[in-house]
Structures are given as structure tokens and as C-alpha cells.
Structure 1
């Protein structure tokens, strides 16, 4: 990790190289914080300048050379200046020598840390620019700059810009380069936030985490445990940036470190205004406006880590108690004030209110911060908050993939009531994969109608997972008919019915039911926040069966997706990743889809219910890419991981199996699998899923096996995609129909379907020697150009294999090279070249050279 690949900064790098090559510009100076990447960026910019065209001189100023005349540019100046020259004469001599050595080439002067240049070096740099040299330089922000250097941009000779922190995407790319592999999304987000867009700090963070064993690899992804090892080099780096502190400024920094974001008004009540101003002026804190309020944060997230670790325990507890008092005295008006106060009370040792801790734990759980919910609910339980705290703790442990501990908590708090039965059944089924939990729920007969409705609602949800569909529907309808049922029971019943409606292709009804649950969030969120999981499952089914790409995009950018990925919520994180994978492969972005399924495998690995689902999805993506070895391996892993507890998603398994068989060339076997699963889906009433399974038959070139039933399904299944899928089934040997469908698929974002429809048009037109084959080939090539690797049976049919020599001849001919010249280049006879071309025309189904280029673009590289 001592030297990592250069990532990001594409715009800044391009700007520096443009300035270096431009005869009209004299230079660009970039300023930024220490470690922001200025030096590396400057190195990359000048490394690409060939010495044959430019006279490039590199210099790096430092503190040691700043007191020596010309020390800053000693690396580039000749060692033998004439004796007796005046200071002005030395400057003139240096400029003349550098211009002489350049021999007519433009001079590019690259100066790192130009703020440390000694006065003569700064004057020489200024003079060189005035004499025609180009300056590329860096400065450290907030450091004094020699007057000759600052005059360069104040006089308009060179441009001056501030180098911004790395973007989130660039930080993620740098993380990948540092660890040498993919980083799990939540871990990348948290490490990137701590790094603050500073490459040096991020590198030190990763080195500390790896050295301390806090970065672990599973399923091809690096995952950070969340524990931060403050290696001496990291602590020293942060200390250097913070610098010496007066007692007052230290107090401000500690208050913000423990309380951020803290309201400016509160901070001014707790600390001297002059100290707050001094901390802001030194760049240690920043004031941000949030909803017309002014909040204070540390200038860099790592400041907080170092300050909190260095703060003595007694002072830390006093500061946290003070902050809790301040927030409570202000009325706790903000949405998360309750949570902040509870955490501060807990950390300061002043937490005595079990109800406060329990309310805060419920709020943390509702935000899917599973670790914090577990910590607060443990404290609430210890503070005597009773069974509700035990139940929430058990639920948090379940969501943290610790079902045995969850069961132990419940068993240590025996309560034969409805909530205890519900909570224990949830752990039994979703945590330990025991289907008999459904029978336990059914056997319970509470006298209270409301309590009975709560159990029936949860039993309905469990029966749904077991694919006992009619019983699930019957139970859900019974709950909705019960006047005494609570809001959470109603919401869960609505989610079950919404799932069934979505799977059946009744998307309008599913949206209506989901909308009802969302509108009544306040009724169930506090009583049973786990309903959120059922809601997301129902919505995910709706939008994935409908192939509703805009809706998937909205879900993936909504709050839940971010919380699920970052909060330690394995079920939710896996669900989000599977949605990302579906949207990506439909759009032809199979690299992204494969990565998303890998994240899903990692997120769902600890679960005993859904682990196989991610592997089936991964097998499907691998098959679409034509990677039969990976597809078969993932199918084996999926079959091994799936324990049969959840039977609801059998269509994923069978469609992945069919895709893998087709990828291996076993089309007949794949067809048999699809016919069987389509018939089962029809029997279960999952007509939306059935439509997709039968469309897979069309994609395998067997539309006659799907046609009649697809027409029937098209009359009942909603959404924008269904009419196109039905029309594709009916297209037959009408090449123009296939071509039109390809364009419509592409407009809606279904690039894989567009490519396969275009391939159908190419096949039909080629067979008929129809000149429209050129347009079809061009469209197919354009679609494939927007995609990653795709190699489905429909595409393989129009991608015949050429020999190496045939490919060479064809590519030259497509580029306009005449046959005789091709013969000369390849040491062949003209007749042999023509023979090769005729075989290529026959294989590709084209009529001549003018159709070769788009046809060749269809072939795998």
C-alpha cells in the first residue's frame, strides 16, 4: 500500500495538462489542505509531458530549504553560478541558463509547496513566468505565500484555484485501490466520511484498520468492523493539523466533538464566544445552516475521533452531561434531539430514565441503526424498562444476525402474552429458519381480539414466506375485518396482500395497498417498526415484477436504501443490492449487476432464510454474461445455502437454473425448467412472475410455447413492460416488428431485451438477404455499445465465430483497405483474401463490405 494507483481528479488533471500544453496560458496554482492530494496530482500532470516536446523542471520546496537562497529551486538550477553576480544578475543568469538548456522547447516549471519557497526562488519563479515559462504549482491552504508567488495570480499571469476534497465516488475508488479489492458499500461510506475526501487521511485510516485487523474480507468484499485503530502516524497527522490549542479553544473543540452537530446558540452558551470565533478562524470548526438554524460541526470528522480519544474520561463524562442538559433545556425541539440526549446520558453515566432510553432505542431502530438500537435497548432493559425493552433488544439482535442471543433475551424475560409469542416466533423463523414457528403462532389463542389479530397478521406474513398463499391471504383478510386489530396488524396484513397483488401482476391494487400503509406510518412505526421490512418487501416485489425502472431508481435513492446499507441491517442491505442488480442488468450494466449481487451475498450470508436468493440472482447475471463456470458455481452455492425454509421465491431459483442451462447450451433442458416453473406460477396465481418466466421462453427462441398464454397474461398483467413482452412473443418472423420492439425496449431502458429483439431482426433479415439487415446490425451494435458483457442465446445466434485470419481480413476490409493491399499486408494472395471475405459474408449474413463494420461490432472482442 506504499504507493497506490492514481484515482479520480480527472477534471483537475485534464486542466493542468491543458494549461501545460497551451501557448496562451502561463500557469495554474492549486491550493488545498495538507494531504488533499496536491503533490500526487502535480506529479501525474507533468509525468505525461514528453521531454522531447517540453523542458520540464520539477522542484519541491520544504522547510529545510526555505532559509537558503535559491534552496527551493536547487533541484533545477546549475551547480556552478558565476562568481560575483549581484542578486539581479543571478536571476538573469538562471533564466538564461534554463532557456538555453530548453533548446527552444517550452519550459514547464512544476513547483510543489510553493508557499515554502525562499525569497530568491520565489523571485526567480516569478521572472521565469514573465519570460514565457509555464508554472504548475501547489500551495497549502491557510499558509503565508511569498509575495512574488501571490503576485502571479493577483496580476493575472497565472490562474489560482482551490483543490476540493475527493468526491464520494473517488474516495470509494481510492479505497478499492488501497485494499486491492471491492469494499462493502456501508464500510466505504463510513470510511469515506471519516477520510473527509482527503487521500492521505484515508490512506492512514485504511492502514490503521488493516494493521489492527478491523478490515475483514468476505464474499470478495472488504468490510470494516467500525472500530477505529488510531495508529501513531494517523494521530500525529491529525495533531499536526489541529496544532496547539488554548484551553478555551480546546473546550470548544471537545464540546463540538462530543455534541456535533451542536446548535451555534447552544455552543455560545457553553463556551466563550471569543474561543468559538478563534476555533472557526483556525479552520477547526465550521458553521453550517440547516433548516434556518445554524449548527456547528468539526472541520474534519477525524478531528472528533482524535479529540474524543485524547479527552480524559472524567472530563468527557462531564462534557456529555453538560451537552445533554443544554439540549434538554432548549426544549429538545429537533427530530433527533431525543436520541442525542439519550446517547449523551448513556455515555456520561447519567442515564437513569429507562423510558427515555427505550424511546431513543425505538427511534434508532426506526432509522435502521441496528448497533445503536441494540446498545440503547440494552441500557433500557438494565434500567428497568421492562418487557418492551427486552422485546426491542431481541428484535435488534435478530436484525444484527444474532438470533441465539435474541432468543436468550426473550427466554430470560418470560411473558406468555401476545407480544412475547410474536417476538419469539420472529426469531424462530427469520433468525433460526424454523418453519414450525407458523404452527406455534396458529396454536396461540389469546382471549383479546386485538392481540389475536396481531398474531394472525404475523402468521399471515410467515405463511406467505412459506408459500402457503391461500392461508396467508385468508389470515390477512381476517385481520382487516377485525375491528380490534391495531395499526401495526392492519399494516402487516396490507403488506401481505400488496405482495400477492404485485406478484399477480395487479400493480394498481398493490400500489393502493402500499399507499395505505405509508399513509398510516405514524400508527405502526412506534408499535412495530419491523413492519417497515414487510413494506419494503411488498414494494420491491411490485416494482421488480413490473420491471419499473423509474420506481426502482426512486427506491434506491430514498432514505431507506441509505439507512439499510449503512446501518448494519443485513436483510435490508441485501434487498437493496438485489434491486440494484435487477435495474443494472436490465440496462445492460452487467458489471455493476454482478458487483451488486456480490454485495447481496455478503449481506445475506449470516441469515438462515434468504441466503440462497442472492446466489441465484448472481447465477442469473453470470449466465447473461455468458460465464457458464461462474453461473454453475453460484447455482451450487445457492442450492447448498437454501434450506427450504422460505419457498416464496422459487421462481428466482428456477429461472436462474434455466438461464444457467441455456448458457451451457442445454436449451431443451432450460425450456423444460421454464415450462414447469411457469405452470407452477400459474397455479399459485403469480401471473406477474409467470409473464416473466414465459417471456424467458421467447428469449430462448421458443415463442410458440408461450404465445397463447402470453396473450392471456397481457390482458391481466399491468405495467409498461407487459405489452412489449407480449408483442415480442407475437413478432414471429417479422423482422420489422423485432426492429421496432428493439427501439421501444431501448427507450424504456431495457437494453438486454432491446439487444435480443434487434438480434432477432438481424437474424431474419440476414436469412432473407434483406438490405434492412444493415439497419438492424447498426442498431444492435449501438445497443451493445451501451452495455457491458452480454452473451445470451439470442445474441450468440448472430455472433458466429470467425477464424483469426478471417477476422483480420474482415476488419481491414471494413476499414476501407482494398483486397490487394490486404494481401500485401498479410502476405496472402488476392484470391485468398477474396475467399476469406466470401466466407465472412456468408457467416455474418451480409452482402458486401459496406455492411461489414456494424456486423463486426456485434462479435465478441
Structure 2
């Protein structure tokens, strides 16, 4: 990891200041901004690029009371007390060598005589001035008039943008910063470079900012370094004590309703804090709310509050808030959290309700804390149910199972049995992979839960398990029965929608599922935020399989926006959605970092099964760029999740293997694996996946698929199967014109790599007919599309990029030679004899004018490397 904090260039501001200094109508610039925003750094950067040496005066609080204190180093030692003589002495020293560049740091602290000297130089234009002023501080009139009267150009320096913050932190860390963590760091630092540096260094020291699989993640509260705390504490030391009182209360509970804060601190304290710019008052709907003006102020103030004082202050806040009886989710959660750390005892019912709220918002860590407190106080089924779900989502299934194991199902009534059984079956099925044991729990639920209001919860869970075992018709029938039941409870509907969302898009019923999402989720609040996010994943999956890529991309971005710092699991699911869209569009350069961040966010003590679809997508994206070794590595990692509980993804695994084979140059093997994927998908009713796999086979050169694809058109929602069928027919006929036309349609639909492949295949067809002009046009189009895909690679694209005088089989063998395979390995992969492979190698070398395998590899893949992207 790099440790140096380098100046992040601000070229636009640098240019503005340089231009102002070159302006004959002005004497320089004044840079105004908050403390730590980088005023001095920028000013010194500009002056260092100017000819001659700049003379810098640094103003301080102590020097502000000394006549000419800022310019003392240029005043000739004298016993004279005449201010005119002192001014003359300083002026002569500063300008002894002619016009100079004069820098003044913190010009708002200039003493009156120094301000007068600076004003004289500006008015007479005998020097160029670069001054910095801290915003919000009183400025002497003689200094303020410098820019008000036009002698100095005013440049306001804003905090870093989010993008600038990320760029700076990543340059220091030497790696990718997770977007969710970047949002927290940016918002907490306020974009202030000084605060940013202290925050990152403190987080690294505390271990809350750490690297997970190449992605830097912030987990836990942000930390304030001792250096920054000292810097900020000095401001509070000079503030009105009443103002600090208001700040102390807000540091423990923010925002606070203004009326509540008035009751706690008094009007005088709030007025003083607002005047000192320590707090701000914003309208929050129909009410006014008080907030701390900068997030780090709260962190520093909390460091000054002892444990006993903090508990007492929270107790006071709790008393006031409890009288107002919060009715919102946020209000209940905040009140419950305050209770936990106060000198008062919360009602267990409030803790359970707040834990349920937290889980419904996909904030599993917070849900765990609240539910655990309630459970330890009163061992009941409701807190146990919430606690087990929160632990399961965080990849701690053994702990979750232990919580539920404390209950004997024979002692539970139907409602309690349901709260016990569904999470326990889920833990055992998905997290532990023990399908038989999960079905034992489900059989117990089916036999004992007969209440018609509760029974849909059992059926919905049963549907999800059945679908993940890849029994789509049976599982969908169960899910649809729950979704069509108007009396089904909200959690049953969510679970059934999750199950249907994982199956309907794959079955070619994407349009049906988007209608289900619109009907079910627009009228009901969530009972489990992560289940709902997985159902939303199904929505994006449906939009992708029905060809609505723009809408899918928008929805994925919207769902990522819903996640806050504590909801990184929901955020990871949303990022997987974005990676899904980018991968299917062929935008692999976007897909890879997005999916890597999602997978890193899924990091847990026990690997979460929700990593599997992300890993399969990431492997396909790597393979799409020709990075076969990286794709193999990710696919090997995905193998930790295998068996009946994830059988739903078996066809996708074969699709991924086909892409890896294609990346290694094995066109024939890629076709075989694509056909195997299509057959596996057909057997389980995954008709959309079948169509996709057949399309891949046609892209890899299979000419026998047009009729089979056409048969799927009427059974799979959306326009894509028809496009796939047209493409397969054009491949079968080697019709270059038709391939060019379908390439245009693929691009219009948003399938960029499919468009590139079709154009590359068109080029090969035009070449066979010796239509050089059309061949060049198709190759040019293919290469343009390849660039949009981030430099994608496929058998058709590689052939179009390097048209060679060899047969398709000779090219395939040459590709495998270039990938580093021996003749025997090639023979095994192609199911031919070693002698046959040797013959193909010999003829390819003869046609290409090379003498051996190394020469052949160098032509096929310059450099002869196994993985051209590594």
C-alpha cells in the first residue's frame, strides 16, 4: 500500500489563478474556503510555477496583535515606533529586487499595519499578491476591500467532489475503494482534504479500513485521528459553552427535532451554536430539524464526553423523544439505539419492533444488535427469529442455528413454530447445504402449520427451496399459488416473489415477473429487506432476459441508492444487478470492477451462497475479454457452492465454461459446452437460458441451431429469441448481408458483443465471397463494437482481426497452441488423435510461413502468452 498523500491536481482552479495573476487589471488573487480545503497547497503550487521566488507571510493569531507581525521578517530591526517608518522598511525589503510575488496565508489574521502594506502594494500594482482567507472568519476591512474593489480576483475553493475524494484515497491505498465505503468517507469528511487524510489514516490504524480481495472496505464507525481532534477541539474551546452543549446533544442523536432540542438545551444554546456555524437548522418535512454543520464535529465532541455523561445525556434525549411517541421506522430505531446506551431501560417490545424495522431495511448488523439485546433480556421466539435471520444474512449460520436450537418445536404453537422453522430451514438449506435436514424441518411445518393465514409462509419457503433445486415447474406452481392468494401475509408474498424472481426470467416468463413486482411491491412495506432485494434482483434479471437493458440499468442504480453504510449486503446485491446488466450488454470493463466490489462486500465468516451468481457473471466477463486464467480462477472459487441447494445455476456454470473454452481458443469445445448448457436448461424448463446458450453456440460457429431457436420464440418473452434465431439462420447460410443486418439489430437492442460477433462472422462470409469492400466494412464495425466492450475477445472477433489463410479447424488448433496446450492436450480436448493434431499444426505452419509451434503462437497471439490480458 502506498502511504504518501500527494496533491490532487485542480487544473481548473490552477488555471483561474494563473490567469488572474497575468491580468494587468488586477494585482492578484484571494483564495477563500473553509479550513483544510487546500487553499495554501493550491496557492503555493501556483506561485512555485511562477518566475522568481515568492515571499510568503504566514499569519497567526498571535501575530495579529503585533504591528507588521505578518511581515516581521522583512522589517529591519529598529527602535523606531513610527508606523510609517516600519511600513517603508518592510516595503523596501519586499520589493528590493523589483515587482515580487507576495503570498499571504490566512490573510484574515493580518494585523492592521500589515493589511495596510498589502493594500498599498495592491493599489500601486508593485507586486502580485496571492492570499488565502478562511471562510466564516471576520476579515479586516482593509483586506476585504482588496477583492470588493477589484484589486484582487476572488476564487472560492470548494471541498473535493466525490470523484476527487475517491481518486485521492485510491492513489494512497494503491487499490480500488468500495463505492459504498467511498460514500461514507466522502460524506463524513465533507470533501475536506485535511479531514479526509486524517480520517483515512485513522481508519487504517484502527483496522476499520481494510482490503478484501483487492477492494478496500470501511466497516464500522469512522475514526478521528488525534491530530485532527486537537485541531477541531481548539475551535470548540473558543466557542460559547452553551453552543457546545447543543453540539454535545446532537453528537449523540442527529438530527433532532428543533422543539426537542429547545426543550433539552434551551433557545440561547441553539442560537449560539447556529451563530458559530456549529449546527444548522433545516426543514425536514413539516418540522424543523437541527444537524451538526460538519460530520466530524460530532465525532470530536463524542470523544470529549465520558461514558457516564454520555449515558446520562442519552437518557435525557430518550425521555423527551419518548413523550413524542415516534411512529416512523427511523424514529423507532433511533429511540431503541439510544435506550441501549443510556441510563434507562428500554421496553422489550420496542427493541423487537426496532429490530424488525432494521431487518426490513436490510441493515442486518443493526438488526442483530437490537434483537440480541431483546433476546438476552427475554428468551422469546420473536427476538430469536429476528436474531437468527440477521446472523444468517451476515454469513454466520452456525450461530444462527444455535439460537434456534435452544427451542423445542414440540413446545411451540403454530405461529411460534413458523418463526422457528422457516429461518432454520433456510439456514440449513442455503448456508449449510444440508438439503435433507432442511426438508425434515419443512415436513414438520407442513404437518403442523394448518392455519390458512400462516400456511402461505410455509408454501412460499417450500417454493424457494424447490426452485433452487432446479425443479422450476413444481416450484413456480407453489410460488404462484401464494402470489395469487389475497390473504397471504406480506412476508409470504416477499418470499414467493423472491422464488419466482429467480425462476420466471430463466423460464422465459420475464414479462410476467415484472408485472408481479409492480403489483406486489408497490403496495406493501418490506418485512425482510434482503429478501426484497433478491426479489428485485429477479426483476432486473427479467428485464435483461426480455431485452430491456436501459430500464434494467436504471433499476439497478436505483436500488443501490437505497443502501446506506450499514446495509452493505443489500448494496452488494444491487451491485450484482449492475454487473449482470453490464455483462449481458458486453460492457466487460464496467462489469468486472462492479462485480469484484459486490463479491468483496459479500465477505463473511461463512461464504454467502449469493456470491455464486456474481462469480459466474465475473468469470464470463473475464472470459469475454480473453482473460481465461482469471475466469478459471473465479469459476474455481464458485465451486465452493455446489449441490442440490444451488442446482438452479447448473446451466449457467456450463455457459461460463463454454465462454472460458472460447477464450482459450477452443471453438469446438465451446460449442459442445454451449449445447450441453442448452440441453440442461431445456430439461429444467429454463427456456430463456436455453435460447441464450444456443445463441452462444451459434456465435462460436455452430450452424445447426436456427430451427431449435425458432421453436423457442413463441415460448420466451421479449424480442431476443427472435434475434437469436435470425442470427443462427444467417450463420447457417453463411449470409454476410444478413449477419451485417442482425449485427445492427443486436447493437440497437444493447447486446454489443453479440453485435460484434455477428459483424465479425459477416466479415468472414464476405471474405469467402472475395467481397473485399464489404469485408473491410464488417471488420471495421466489429472492431468499433469491440472497443465499446472494453477490448472483448471471441473466436469470431480474433479471426476477423487477423484473417489468416487457414481452415477453421487449423485456426482452432493454432489457437490452442497459442494458449499453451500440448498436442496431446489438444487431441484430448478435440477428441481426435495426436497425429491429426500434428497434421493440422504442420499445415498451419506451412501456410503461415513459420517453422514451429512458437512461430505459430506468435502469429495467432503476439507474444505467445497463454492469457493475452495477463
Normalization by structure 1: what TM-score? 0.83
Alignment partner of 1:61 is 2:58: yes
In 1, Cα distance between the equivalents of 2:523 and 2:726?
A: 40
Is the 8 Å Cα contact of residues 9 and 166 (structure 1) preserved in structure 2?
Answer: no
In 2, Cα distance between the equivalents of 1:319 and 1:531?
A: 37
Q: Structure 1 residue 276: deviation in Å?
A: 0.7
RMSD: 3.6
User: Cα distance 1:37–1:92, how it changes in 2: closer, same or farther (>3 A)?
Assistant: closer
Partner of 1:536: 536
Partner of 2:580: 582
Is the 8 Å Cα contact of residues 251 and 271 (structure 1) preserved in structure 2?
Answer: yes
3-state DSSP of counterpart to 2:708: helix
3-state DSSP of counterpart to 1:289: strand
Alignment partner of 1:706 is 2:736: no
Q: Structure 1 residue 675: deviation in Å?
A: 0.7
In 2, Cα distance between the equivalents of 1:172 and 1:626?
A: 29
Partner of 1:567: 566
Q: Structure 1 residue 162: deviation in Å?
A: 3.0
Q: Structure 1 residue 407: deviation in Å?
A: 1.2
User: Cα distance 1:335–1:490, how it changes in 2: closer, same or farther (>3 A)?
Assistant: closer
Partner of 1:378: 372
Instruction: Give the alignment of 1:72-111 within 5 angstroms.
Output: 72=70, 86=85, 93=92, 97-99=96-98, 111=104
User: Cα distance 1:383–1:29, how it changes in 2: closer, same or farther (>3 A)?
Assistant: same
Is the 8 Å Cα contact of residues 282 and 288 (structure 2) preserved in structure 1?
Answer: yes
Q: Structure 1 residue 539: deviation in Å?
A: 1.6
Is the 8 Å Cα contact of residues 360 and 376 (structure 1) preserved in structure 2?
Answer: yes
Partner of 2:671: 671
Alignment: residue pair count: 788
Partner of 2:601: 603
Partner of 1:849: none
Partner of 2:500: 497
Partner of 1:831: none
Partner of 2:248: 254
In 2, Cα distance between the equivalents of 1:638 and 1:860?
A: 22
User: Cα distance 1:275–1:683, how it changes in 2: closer, same or farther (>3 A)?
Assistant: same
Is the 8 Å Cα contact of residues 472 and 685 (structure 2) preserved in structure 1?
Answer: no
3-state DSSP of counterpart to 1:771: helix
**Of residues 225, 236, 239 in structure 1, which corresponds to 2:230?**
236
Partner of 2:716: 717
Partner of 1:554: 554
Is the 8 Å Cα contact of residues 113 and 137 (structure 1) preserved in structure 2?
Answer: yes
Is the 8 Å Cα contact of residues 61 and 116 (structure 1) preserved in structure 2?
Answer: no
In 2, Cα distance between the equivalents of 1:239 and 1:357?
A: 35
In 2, Cα distance between the equivalents of 1:616 and 1:498?
A: 18
Q: Structure 1 residue 677: deviation in Å?
A: 0.2
Partner of 2:835: none
Q: Structure 1 residue 147: deviation in Å?
A: 3.9
Q: Structure 1 residue 466: deviation in Å?
A: 1.7
**Of residues 494, 508, 515 in structure 1, which corresponds to 2:518?**
515
Is the 8 Å Cα contact of residues 514 and 543 (structure 2) preserved in structure 1?
Answer: no
Partner of 2:30: 29
Q: Structure 1 residue 72: deviation in Å?
A: 4.6
Is the 8 Å Cα contact of residues 20 and 153 (structure 2) preserved in structure 1?
Answer: no
In 2, Cα distance between the equivalents of 1:363 and 1:315?
A: 29
Q: Structure 1 residue 298: deviation in Å?
A: 0.7
Q: Structure 1 residue 569: deviation in Å?
A: 4.8
In 2, Cα distance between the equivalents of 1:583 and 1:460?
A: 26
Partner of 1:190: 184
In 2, Cα distance between the equivalents of 1:800 and 1:158?
A: 61
In 1, Cα distance between the equivalents of 2:130 and 2:642?
A: 59
Is the 8 Å Cα contact of residues 442 and 456 (structure 1) preserved in structure 2?
Answer: no
Partner of 1:788: 790
Partner of 1:624: 624
3-state DSSP of counterpart to 1:348: coil
In 2, Cα distance between the equivalents of 1:586 and 1:478?
A: 31
Is the 8 Å Cα contact of residues 609 and 645 (structure 1) preserved in structure 2?
Answer: no
Runs of 5+ consecutive residues of structure 2 not aligned to the other structure = 411-416, 805-847, 849-867
Question: What does the per-residue CA deviation read over 1:705-760, in whole Å, with 9 as the maximum and x for residues that have no partner?
Answer: 33222223333333354444444334445555544554554455444344444444
Alignment partner of 1:467 is 2:470: yes
Q: Structure 1 residue 461: deviation in Å?
A: 0.5
Partner of 2:306: 312
In 2, Cα distance between the equivalents of 1:667 and 1:763?
A: 15
Q: Structure 1 residue 129: deviation in Å?
A: 4.7
Is the 8 Å Cα contact of residues 537 and 574 (structure 2) preserved in structure 1?
Answer: no
Partner of 1:815: none
Question: What does the per-residue CA deviation read over 1:626-679, in whole Å, with 9 as the maximum and x for residues that have no partner?
Answer: 222222222222235546631112233222211111111111111111010011
Q: Structure 1 residue 207: deviation in Å?
A: 1.4
Instruction: Give the alignment of 1:330-479 within 5 angstroms.
Output: 330-332=324-326, 334-384=328-378, 386-416=380-410, 417-444=417-444, 445-446=447-448, 448-450=450-452, 451-479=454-482
3-state DSSP of counterpart to 1:217: strand
Q: Structure 1 residue 394: deviation in Å?
A: 1.0
Deviates more, 1:634-643 or 1:347-356: 634-643
Q: Structure 1 residue 617: deviation in Å?
A: 2.2
3-state DSSP of counterpart to 2:408: coil
In 1, Cα distance between the equivalents of 2:13 and 2:191?
A: 15
Instruction: Give the alignment of 1:198-277 within 5 angstroms.
Output: 198-277=192-271
Q: Structure 1 residue 188: deviation in Å?
A: 2.6
In 2, Cα distance between the equivalents of 1:455 and 1:516?
A: 22
User: Cα distance 1:126–1:426, how it changes in 2: closer, same or farther (>3 A)?
Assistant: same
User: Cα distance 1:537–1:583, how it changes in 2: closer, same or farther (>3 A)?
Assistant: closer
In 1, Cα distance between the equivalents of 2:109 and 2:754?
A: 60
Normalization by structure 2: what TM-score? 0.82
In 2, Cα distance between the equivalents of 1:777 and 1:663?
A: 19
**Of residues 175, 186, 193 in structure 1, which corresponds to 2:169?**
175
Deviates more, 1:482-491 or 1:536-545: 482-491
Is the 8 Å Cα contact of residues 623 and 660 (structure 1) preserved in structure 2?
Answer: yes
Instruction: Give the alignment of 1:289-304 within 5 angstroms.
Output: 289-304=283-298
Q: Structure 1 residue 482: deviation in Å?
A: 6.9
In 2, Cα distance between the equivalents of 1:388 and 1:674?
A: 48
3-state DSSP of counterpart to 1:413: coil
Q: Structure 1 residue 219: deviation in Å?
A: 0.8
In 2, Cα distance between the equivalents of 1:860 and 1:182?
A: 19
Q: Structure 1 residue 392: deviation in Å?
A: 0.6
3-state DSSP of counterpart to 2:435: coil
Question: What does the per-residue CA deviation read over 1:407-445, in whole Å, with 9 as the maximum and x for residues that have no partner?
Answer: 111112334423212121112123322222442244221
3-state DSSP of counterpart to 1:252: helix
